[in-house]
């Protein structure tokens, strides 16, 4: 069951006594979000780009900022990337994902920026009116400017049109990592990994930590999608897990749990690989559904909200930064810079410069 007490209103997150552990807390001194009718800037998402934007805004003298996070824990995807390298560019330190996420949140709270977790934006209306829901209150807030920093997610199995049934044991890196790092559970023990992007090697790292032994890594193209040092690292990490290039997954086998996959190599030869899971990695797609269901213009090719060079959306009250506009995906450090730029631009517009 949930270890945390249910917050009775959307509350700002605060540091607890250790000054390190961050969690969606209960009592807050700041007024509840639903009492707030207006604010200068609403930032949707507390990943690297959202936090960088908030800090940049604060630095530029904007104080009335609200960061909304739908998850219970703030920090975004780095929370469950339990490995380095994070933070080199922005904090000049070599950190793991969770350390990096904690440091970001710490900086945010030290700047006295209001952060509300478990608060989900349900609709974007024109001119910066935001509809949200939190466990004990639905409401609206009118912002002068809104920044979409909703990030990205991997493409799961279904849109890839992979043949086969629907046994248990099919997931993406994000699912595996959040299951393992946040809940200490694993969905399989001997999966095949589909893809060889950077995130695929992050998945390999997680597998090694979780005691999961992948049976193979499959790459459709004839070479891995990352430079060789990473691939070499992958080889070491994978403890003998072969990288099969030019190889596609044809069919997923198994009734209750995955029992194997049918693969086809570059010569058209098919063979069965026994495994108990399929880990689909990468093929990132922007988490832009809020924008897609709103009045904002969407770039049909990438699915990202359309932005101009300043990061402005088709409605000038809206901006977007980070992975929601960096299709297909970029690293946390680049998202940080993207958020910073958007923050500075918003600050310029708000102060009429």
Partner 1 sequence: MRETDVAIIGGGVVGCAVARRCALEGARVILLEKAADILDGASKGNSAILHTGFDAPPDSLEWQCVQQGHQEYQEIHKELGLPLLKTGAMVVAWNEEEEARLEEVFNKGIKNQVDDLRMLNRQEILAMEPHLSGSVRAAIHIPREYVIDPWSAPLAYLLQAVENGGQALFNAPVTGGRHDGASWLLETPRGQVKASYVINCAGLYGDLVDQAVLGRAEFTIKPRKGQFVVYDKAARTLINSIILPVPSKRTKGIVLFPTIFGNMMVGPTAEEQDSRDDASVDEKTLRMLAQKGEAMLPALKDMPVTTTYAGIRPATEQPEYRICGDPERNWFTLGGIRSTGLTAALGLARYAFGLISKKCQNFTPLQSPVIPRVPNLAEHLPRDYTRPGYGEIVCHCEMVTRREIMAALEGKLPAGSLAGLKRRTRSTMGRCQGFYCSARLAELTKDRFDQPLGREGCDE
Q: Which residues bind partner 1 (CB under 8 A)?
A: 1-2, 6, 70-72, 118, 120, 122, 133, 135-138, 153-154, 156-159, 161-166, 168, 171-172, 174-175, 178-179, 182-187, 189-190, 210-213, 250-251, 255-257, 285, 287, 289, 292-293, 300-301, 303
- For the bound state, the minimum distance from the C-beta of residue 53 to partner 1, rounded and expressed in Å, comes to 21
Please, which residue, 114 or 154, has the CB nearer to partner 1?
154
- For the bound state, the minimum distance from the C-beta of residue 112 to partner 1, rounded and expressed in Å, comes to 26
- For the bound state, the minimum distance from the C-beta of residue 117 to partner 1, rounded and expressed in Å, comes to 9
* 277 contacts 251 by C-beta, under 8 angstroms: no
Please, which residue, 71 or 219, has the CB nearer to partner 1?
71
- For the bound state, the minimum distance from the C-beta of residue 301 to partner 1, rounded and expressed in Å, comes to 8
Q: What's the number of CA atoms in the CB half-sphere (13 Å) around residue 310?
A: 15
Coil vs helix vs strand at 257: strand
Please, which residue, 56 or 148, has the CB nearer to partner 1?
148
Coil vs helix vs strand at 216: strand
Q: Which two tokens stand for residue 226?
A: 């990352």
Please, which residue, 31 or 159, has the CB nearer to partner 1?
159
- For the bound state, the minimum distance from the C-beta of residue 63 to partner 1, rounded and expressed in Å, comes to 29
Q: What's the number of CA atoms in the CB half-sphere (13 Å) around residue 325?
A: 28
Q: What's the number of CA atoms in the CB half-sphere (13 Å) around residue 66?
A: 30
CA–CA gap between residue 60 and residue 21 (Å, rounded) = 28
CA–CA gap between residue 247 and residue 266 (Å, rounded) = 6
Please, which residue, 173 or 340, has the CB nearer to partner 1?
173
- For the bound state, the minimum distance from the C-beta of residue 237 to partner 1, rounded and expressed in Å, comes to 16
How deeply is 157 buried, as exposed, middle or buried, from its count of CB atoms within 10 A (0-12, 13-18, 19+)?
middle
Please, which residue, 26 or 163, has the CB nearer to partner 1?
163
Please, which residue, 120 or 310, has the CB nearer to partner 1?
120
Q: Which two tokens stand for residue 81?
A: 């990337």
- For the bound state, the minimum distance from the C-beta of residue 335 to partner 1, rounded and expressed in Å, comes to 18
* 251 contacts 166 by C-beta, under 8 angstroms: no
CA–CA gap between residue 60 and residue 133 (Å, rounded) = 30
Beta-carbon count within 10 A of 341 CB: 19
């Amino acid at each position: 069951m949930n270890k945390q007490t249910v917050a009775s209103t959307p509350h700002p997150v605060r540091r607890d006594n250790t000054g390190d552990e961050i969690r969606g807390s209960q009592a807050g001194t700041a007024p509840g979000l639903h009492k707030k009718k207006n604010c200068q800037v609403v930032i949707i998402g507390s990943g690297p780009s959202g936090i960088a934007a908030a800090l940049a805004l604060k630095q530029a003298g904007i104080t009335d900022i609200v960061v909304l996070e739908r998850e219970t824990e703030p920090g975004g995807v780095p929370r469950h990337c339990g490995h380095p390298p994070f933070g080199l560019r922005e904090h000049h330190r070599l950190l793991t994902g969770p350390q990096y996420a904690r440091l970001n949140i710490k900086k945010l709270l030290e700047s006295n920026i209001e952060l509300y977790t478990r608060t989900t934006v349900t609709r974007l209306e024109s001119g910066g009116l935001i509809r949200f829901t939190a466990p004990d209150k639905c409401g609206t807030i009118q912002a002068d400017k809104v920044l979409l920093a909703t990030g990205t997610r991997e493409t799961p199995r279904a849109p890839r049109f992979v043949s086969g049934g629907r046994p248990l044991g099919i997931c993406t890196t994000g699912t595996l990592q959040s299951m393992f790092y946040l809940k200490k559970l694993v969905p399989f023990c001997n999966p095949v990994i589909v893809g060889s992007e950077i995130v695929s090697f992050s998945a390999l790292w997680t597998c090694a930590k979780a005691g999961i032994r992948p049976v193979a890594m499959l790459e459709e193209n004839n070479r891995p999608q990352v430079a060789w040092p990473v691939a070499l690292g992958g080889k070491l990490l994978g403890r003998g897990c072969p990288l099969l290039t030019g190889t596609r997954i044809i069919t997923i086998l198994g009734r209750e749990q995955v029992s194997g996959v049918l693969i086809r190599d570059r010569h058209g030869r098919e063979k069965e690989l026994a495994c108990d899971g399929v880990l689909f990695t990468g093929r990132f797609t922007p988490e832009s559904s809020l924008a897609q269901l709103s009045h904002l213009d969407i770039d049909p090719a990438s699915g990202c909200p359309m932005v101009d060079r300043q990061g402005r959306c088709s409605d000038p009250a809206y901006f977007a930064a980070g992975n929601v506009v960096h299709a297909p995906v970029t690293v946390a450090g680049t998202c940080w810079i993207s958020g910073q730029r958007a923050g500075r631009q918003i600050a310029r517009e708000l102060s009429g410069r």
